[in-house]
Structure 1
């Protein structure tokens, strides 16, 4: 089956979302989250406030990024069921971080954008609560991506516990990454956090500090 490519309408929608979110995060970073209104974001992006709300139903949604969740779920689903749960999930977290911050066109700008979003979520109480909701959703996406391993209650419980523990390790790595202003590669930090939590053999450490 050939891979489906987005049509023109989908590409325009994606580009509009990107422009709105880029301006929003810049304004939130420069002026402060509470001091910036949705109307300010709309003016900066050159769209109406209605357009902003069409793409981002709440102000908090402007800081959330859905791409990592998709990448993580795809990599969990593609991992070998013969591997331990923590290795499957941890490997997916490291791989997704490598894709998001790796060497490619626009990587530096994307990394800075991710750092700005992360700092905003750490520093803003309303965003911390929204981020927690997104983590629960990501945990469920990981459990769903494990597929047949979660068809009985005990297996589902083990998957939920493994996903929760791996995400806690990742959160520690993300906080350190933001604190260090991205000087240490994110995949390496996530690998170190996973190794500290579960042992060095859980995820192969291929990244240098």
Structure 2
């Protein structure tokens, strides 16, 4: 097998930073246009022009317009955070703390929090985005099932692993939609904690 030339760490880091800036520019331009003229009326070529990139560049980073709203680096952060949790932690506790870490890292600035508010309003009001969210969460579920199974020394294909992850992500989705339905007034971390509490207890005991 031919060995590819190694890329110096500094160059690799610069390349990744440029990719992040390009993704942010595309997403920022898209959000501005969505606010000005609506999601359905906004074309990808308009987003590309506003972001000062080509339409092919937009599609290279985001295969569909819906992905501009939904695609980010949260899965990688969430997986890493889950794998980093202490081995003795119960699975639900480990997952809750991993979600907190991912949320803090992704939405820890006013600008990032503002973007997630726009994102969730689009999820609530645009059926195509909401459908893509379900596909995205299914992909996240596969990643998290593997991470959880590795923690437990089990197979990600086991029924118990699949049910646990499905329940947890279903709770997360419900929490996000509740947050939107209540005009994003509540603290998102508190909403997530409430959802986890329901999974941990009988419904009648969760208050």
Above 0.5 in TM-score? yes
Residue from 161, 164, 171 that aligns with 1:162: 164
User: Partner residue of 2:140?
Assistant: 138
User: Partner residue of 1:114?
Assistant: 116
The runs of 4+ residues in structure 1 deviating greater than 4 Å are none
Residue from 6, 15, 30 that aligns with 1:9: 15
Aligned CA-pair RMSD: 2.2
User: Quick check: 109-118 or 76-85, which moved more?
Assistant: 76-85
User: Partner residue of 1:207?
Assistant: none
Of structures 1 and 2, the one scoring higher in RCO (CA 8 A, sep 6+) is: 1
**TM-score, normalised via structure 2 length:** 0.83
CA distance in 1, matches of 2:53, 2:161: 43
CA distance in 2, matches of 1:127, 1:152: 32
Cα gap change, 1:180/1:26 in structure 2, threshold over 3 Å: closer, same or farther?
farther
User: Partner residue of 1:50?
Assistant: 56
Superposed CA deviations along residues 30-66 of structure 1, whole A, max 9, x for unmatched, are 3221111001101211222122122222222111132
User: Partner residue of 2:97?
Assistant: 91
* 8 Å contact kept, 1:60–1:126: yes
Post-superposition offset of 1:148: 4.9
- Could you say what secondary structure the match of 2:63 adopts? coil
CA distance in 2, matches of 1:143, 1:191: 20
* 8 Å contact kept, 1:90–1:166: no
What residue ranges of structure 1 are gaps of 5+ in the alignment?
A: 201-209
CA distance in 2, matches of 1:153, 1:58: 29
CA distance in 2, matches of 1:97, 1:153: 24
- Could you say what secondary structure the match of 2:100 adopts? helix
User: Partner residue of 2:5?
Assistant: none
Post-superposition offset of 1:150: 5.4
Cα gap change, 1:54/1:65 in structure 2, threshold over 3 Å: closer, same or farther?
closer
